[in-house]
Structure 1
Amino acid sequence: MRELERYYRVLELEPGASLDEVNQAYKDLAFVWHPDRMPQDNQRLKDKAVSKLQQINEARDKLRSHKARLHVPSTRAASQSASNPTSQQTTTSKTTSRQAYSSQSRTPQEPSYQPPKPHPDLTGKDYSGANLTNRDFSGRNMSYANLKGANLSDTFMHKVNLFGADLSEANLFRANLLLADLREANLQSANLIGADLSGADLRGADLRGARVMIGDRVQVKLIGALLNGAIMPDGSIHE
């Protein structure tokens, strides 16, 4: 139990927190400690981030496994009941008793654990005007998706494929788009204030009219981003 408590502490949770709380804490901390968010010229911070991310991943995996085991129903009682019928029972009554017990043992309160299904392909998905704040689309294929006017604030989209997607007028306030594929994406009039586009591929993307500055300061993180051929907010083409 002490080891489980340590995993909860790594995720900054109280012991016994729900699986949803574990998953949310993991996403929050992974966002904070991702090595790509660290200054590229500070190896000490990058090494620390790698170590922290390993601890966070281990804690999440261990707690998920622990909670999965708690949801696997026990079959020992059923097998013992079936193997010790009274001598007065007939073959028919034995079968009926086993069936009745088996039916009772499969209660909704004890569902068997089912492994998570793979994420569906979201190519061309229509999310126009949708409220997707705080969702996790990391690693998903959303090429050519329609996200026009969608609320994607604080959304986790690390390594998401948004090739050719329509993000015009979308709210990407503080969205995590680390290493995202945004080639030829339409980002016209999108709100990118606070977004992290470090390492993202924006070649050929259209950012005309996108909100990227507060006053005279750029408020979008673009460390290592590829911008060749991108149409910038002022209409110029980046070379």
Structure 2
Amino acid sequence: MVAALAWGGARVAFTYRSNAAGAQAVAAELPPPAEVVALQGDVGVEADVARIVAAVVARFGGLDILVNNAGITRDALLLRMRPEDWQTVLDTNLTGAVRCCRQALPHLLASKAGRIINIASIAGIVGSAGQVNYSAAKAGLIGLTEVLARELAPSGITVNAVAPGVIDAGIVAGMPEQVRRRLVEVVPMGRMGTAEEVAALVVFLASREAGYITGQTIAVDGGTTTGGLTMPGAQATG
């Protein structure tokens, strides 16, 4: 996503919590004319978010696009979930985005055409058993998207959410092959998505061409959230 935005012409600052070497490697992979900077901080800490936003504005002279992409998982059935695992996921995945919006908004308002893009999940649309904390946080992020879109539309700021489905990246990429096959079975398109496909939508929503799109949650999921039943023999062939 960092690379896609940078090659799309944006000057990009991205955050990391602890993996400095990994963050610097990402930045190093994007030589000039791309302008990319990695900033350490935790979206769970308001002071960190304020410091990061101030650093971005000082370096780039303003802030036009906010992508809320921080997310963690602490999976368990609700009866077995520790209270701290519920709270940590909500604090990072939902309240972290609220903190970032709150700190960024004065600068986005100054731009008069800002963009907020929240990375949600289809878990926030249909739920994911064993991920009640994650699903609740992502559903909340979708609600946040809709409310902020209405509040900020008069100021020319668009707010949208991207809801990835089964994407061959991160945790999913490291899963055993049999688990990966089971995940693909629920995808009508019969394959996993790619990080590049998600990033392409983010770049579009950040562009001028998306200036009349706001308050939307767009799933990148190969049709998973379409629901419905497919009768045997009903699949189209080509």
What is the TM-score of this pair, normalised by structure 2? 0.28
Max Rg structure = 1
Structure having the higher helix fraction is 2
Structure having the higher strand fraction is 2
What is the TM-score of this pair, normalised by structure 1? 0.28
